[in-house]
């Protein structure tokens, strides 16, 4: 599939801010590789300096952890941003997006299912962000004496959807520039929030802490909302780096850009939750971030906080909407990236309206976060093991070939692959598909989604609260199964692939 004109992207640097990026999953040619590893640090930092992560830290205390336990779990959980860093490495080598690269391990047809899972995941996060933006807007207008009814909520949703679409439509370069600019004021906001809440912190409010089972539940939440939850987006933003870019610098820039703000914000949230009863009283992600947390601030800071919260939520939603667009294009290659962004915007608008008007928003959000753990852990492990086995050597043209090529693995395809079995096997790489199913089953066995679902292992181990090791089982079983099934064929396929 040939790349479209660069529309202003040149080897001398990024395109003008207002230039619309027309490229979707198409290969990024060498002359358009203007990125640097350092730009990824500021992009991830600008997205992750976000009130959502304050909420995640507060939930650790609400669940019953002591402050010391919360800090330990937060620090360990945020090591998962190494997964995001490692998942960024295929982008510069393949020159395309994560779920176009995912065709290498799964095959063009086998990749349809994980691509669909990821599209649903990204749209789900967009809906969460829009709903929280509307809640913040309602709280903000209430400060001015305006009580938002149904018509006002509809207007807020429409305005939020329209604003959210701007940066993803402009594309990759605009996203990086804006998030880099926002990182500095977001850091300043964190410092102000920390200073204003210091006097209310009670670090020994929960002296005895929680069982190890509860620790695993919070750890799963931190990992899913952190490094594992961003791994499927990583190569979408690293693909504009040249193949010769330092791998160590890429991993370090992405991992630190995500882990440092995430850990600091979550520790702040845990500290504030020890001394602010409103956090424990509200107890839901949406309510905590919009109505509970401001009770820790003096009255003069509430309005600036809500304004910044809205801007931050738009920032993090930008990454989700951009990635959902290119993921949808991997499902339907004939659609342009701009068309995919438009489709996602319409879908998001309808479902966000349902979420805002539903009394079950918090329940829906919690169930959604648990659902993504089941598929995302195995996929991430398979993606990384495949990248390691083939030493990051990808056939860029074959990744974009829906009907043939190296990764179609039919008779006559370059690089060999599946032999025999008829054309029904073409386009599917069964080692990855088997590993994905095995990893999902293993994760579901130890998933603690109380009350709707508690896996048999989760209910029997960990005391009264049970436990949740679904993230680790998904990663280990998915990755190990793929290695056992593909550790011979995939390295051979990589050796037969020309270097970029």
CA distance 111 to 100: 9
Dihedral angle of Cα 439, 443, 445, 450, to the nearest 10 degrees: -160
CA distances to 1, 117, 318, 397, 484 from 472, in Å? 38, 19, 29, 34, 18
Asked if residue 418 is part of any domain, the answer here is no
Looking at residue 44, its pLDDT comes to 92
Looking at residue 391, its pLDDT comes to 94
Number of alpha carbons in the 13 Å side-chain half-sphere of residue 122:
28
Q: How many residues does the chain have?
A: 500
Spell 53-64 as b/e; 16+ CB within 10 A means b.
Answer: bbbbbbbbbbbb
The label of the residue with tokens 């959807």 reads: 161
Q: Summarize pLDDT for 448-495 with one digit per residue, the tens.
A: 877 778 889 988 887 777 888 999 999 999 999 999 999 999 999 999
Is the model's pLDDT at 175 over the cut of 70? yes
The label of the residue with tokens 């006097």 reads: 199
Residue 312: pLDDT band by 50, 70, 90 thresholds?
A: confident
Residue 493: partners with Cβ closer than 8 Å, 6 or more residues away: 390, 406, 415, 416, 417
CA distances to 63, 202, 473, 476 from 459, in Å? 17, 32, 15, 20
Is the model's pLDDT at 407 over the cut of 70? yes
The label of the residue with tokens 């176009």 reads: 100
Asked if residue 385 is part of any domain, the answer here is no
Contact 215/4 with Cβ under 8 angstroms? no
Asked if residue 136 is part of any domain, the answer here is yes
- For the chain, how many structural domains are there in total? 1
Asked if residue 445 is part of any domain, the answer here is no
CATH of the domain at 242: 1.10.4160.10
Asked if residue 422 is part of any domain, the answer here is no
**Domain span including residue 335:** 35-371
Asked if residue 165 is part of any domain, the answer here is yes
Looking at residue 9, its pLDDT comes to 40
Q: Summarize pLDDT for 105-157 with one digit per residue, the tens.
A: 999 999 999 999 999 999 888 888 888 888 888 888 988 888 888 898 899 99
CA distance 241 to 236: 11
Asked if residue 311 is part of any domain, the answer here is yes
Query: Per mean pLDDT, which range of 3-7, 408-412, 492-496 is the poorest?
Result: 3-7
pTM, full prediction: 0.87
**Complete DSSP assignment for 211-252:** -HHHHHHHHHHHHHHTHHHHHTTHHHHHTTS-TTS-HHHHHH
Asked if residue 477 is part of any domain, the answer here is no
Q: What is the mean pLDDT of residues 373-397?
A: 95
């Amino acid at each position: 599939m040939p790349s479209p004109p660069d529309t202003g992207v040149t080897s001398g640097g990024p395109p003008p801010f207002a230039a619309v990026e027309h490229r979707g999953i198409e290969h990024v040619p060498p002359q358009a590789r203007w990125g640097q590893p350092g730009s990824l640090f500021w992009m991830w930092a600008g997205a992750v300096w976000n009130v959502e992560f304050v909420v995640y830290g507060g939930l650790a205390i609400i669940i019953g952890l002591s402050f010391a336990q919360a800090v330990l779990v937060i620090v360990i959980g945020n090591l998962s941003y190494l997964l995001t860093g490692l998942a960024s490495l295929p982008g510069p080598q393949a020159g395309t997006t994560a779920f176009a690269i995912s065709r290498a391990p799964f095959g063009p047809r086998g990749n349809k299912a994980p691509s669909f899972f990821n599209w649903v995941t990204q749209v789900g996060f967009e809906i969460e962000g829009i709903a929280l933006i509307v809640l913040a807007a309602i709280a903000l207008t209430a400060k001015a004496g305006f009580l938002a009814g149904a018509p006002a909520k509809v207007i807020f949703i429409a305005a939020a959807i329209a604003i959210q679409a701007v940066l993803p439509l402009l594309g990759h370069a605009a996203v990086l520039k804006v998030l880099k600019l926002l990182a500095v004021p977001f850091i300043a906001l964190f410092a102000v929030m920390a200073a204003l809440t210091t006097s209310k912190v009670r670090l020994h409010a929960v002296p005895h802490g929680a069982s190890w089972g509860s620790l695993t539940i919070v750890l799963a939440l931190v990992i899913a909302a952190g490094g594992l939850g961003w791994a499927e987006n990583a190569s979408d933003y690293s693909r504009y780096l040249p193949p010769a870019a330092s791998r160590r610098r890429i991993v370090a820039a992405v991992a630190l850009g995500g882990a440092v703000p995430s850990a600091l914000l979550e520790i702040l949230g845990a500290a504030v939750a020890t001394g602010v009863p409103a956090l424990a009283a509200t107890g839901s992600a949406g309510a905590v971030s919009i109505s509970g947390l401001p009770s820790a601030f003096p009255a003069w800071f509430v309005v600036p906080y809500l304004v910044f919260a809205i801007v931050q939520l738009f920032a993090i939603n930008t990454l989700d909407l951009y990635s959902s667009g290119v993921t949808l294009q991997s499902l339907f290659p004939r659609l342009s990236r701009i068309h995919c962004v438009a489709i996602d915007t319409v879908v998001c608008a309808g479902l966000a309206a349902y979420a805002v008007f539903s009394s079950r928003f918090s329940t829906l959000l919690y169930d959604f976060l648990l659902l993504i753990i089941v598929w995302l852990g195995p996929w991430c492990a398979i993606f990384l093991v495949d990248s390691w086995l083939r030493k990051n050597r990808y056939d860029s043209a074959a990744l974009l070939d829906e009907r043939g090529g190296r990764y179609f693995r039919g008779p006559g395809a370059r690089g060999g692959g599946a032999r025999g079995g008829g054309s029904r096997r073409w386009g599917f790489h069964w080692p990855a598909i088997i590993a994905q199913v095995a990893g999902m089953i293993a994760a579901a066995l130890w998933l603690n989604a109380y009350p709707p679902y508690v896996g048999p292992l989760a209910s029997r181990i960990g005391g009264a609260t049970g436990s949740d090791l679904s993230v680790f089982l998904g990663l280990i079983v998915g990755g190990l199964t793929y290695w056992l099934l593909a550790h011979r064929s995939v390295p051979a396929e990589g050796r037969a692939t020309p270097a970029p």
